[in-house]
Homo-oligomer: A and B are copies of this chain.
């Protein structure tokens, strides 16, 4: 097997393996051996790239956030209006296809793993607060004349709604198909006066 170019690329590949195991086998089976098997290597490589299992999980968690942030920034930059940007950014947070469904399951797994891990919960809070600020900025841009508390309440409602429906759809894809999620989002945006 041709080895990756550098150590950073291997760390990224191992983090992707962490996501795969988390999405397909769950948190309880997220072992070093399972990650190595998913990455197509042995535990030796894993333990040479990361000092221990927690460091591997922390790296995978941060990479997950960085990747989503890049995707969100690209969507925001490509939007033609503030309201289109808001909708596009919110839409990618739902679980509307196989890929975003997997991301939602991984997100849930990391959140459950963070319950007893101070560093993981700290990363979650930093990333989530940044995500919330982005939503508030997008709502403020889409409704420039709103008072700040209304912006905050509506932005919170929107991010809570999308994260919630992503969890619901991840756990029961048949009951929450993509079009129902989209209709839910559009109905909410219209009700808030952001359609």
A125 within 8 A of B: yes
> Considering only CB atoms, which chain B residue lies closest to A30 in the complex?
B28
A148 within 8 A of B: no
| Copies of this chain, count | 2
Contact check: which of B23, B24, B128, B161 meets A157 at CB < 8 Å?
B161
In angstroms, Cα B161 to Cα A22, docked, is 25
> Considering only CB atoms, which chain B residue lies closest to A186 in the complex?
B153
Judging by beta carbons under 8 Å apart, are A125 and B172 in contact?
A: yes
Contact check: which of B116, B160, B176 meets A165 at CB < 8 Å?
B160
A120-147 interface code vs B (CB 8 A; 1 in, 0 out): 0100110011001000000000000000
Judging by beta carbons under 8 Å apart, are A157 and B175 in contact?
A: no
Q: Which residues of B contact A163 (CB under 8 A)?
A: 164, 167-168
Q: Which residues of B contact A22 (CB under 8 A)?
A: 115
Judging by beta carbons under 8 Å apart, are B111 and A108 in contact?
A: yes
Q: Which residues of B contact A187 (CB under 8 A)?
A: 150, 153-154, 157
**A and B contact pairs by CB, cutoff 8 A, 6 listed:** A26-B116, A27-B28, A125-B172, A128-B171, A128-B172, A159-B168
Given contacts A27-B112, A153-B184, 20 further A-B contacts (CB under 8 A): A25-B115, A26-B112, A26-B114, A27-B113, A111-B112, A112-B113, A114-B171, A128-B171, A149-B183, A150-B187, A152-B180, A152-B183, A153-B186, A156-B180, A157-B184, A159-B168, A161-B161, A163-B167, A188-B191, A191-B191
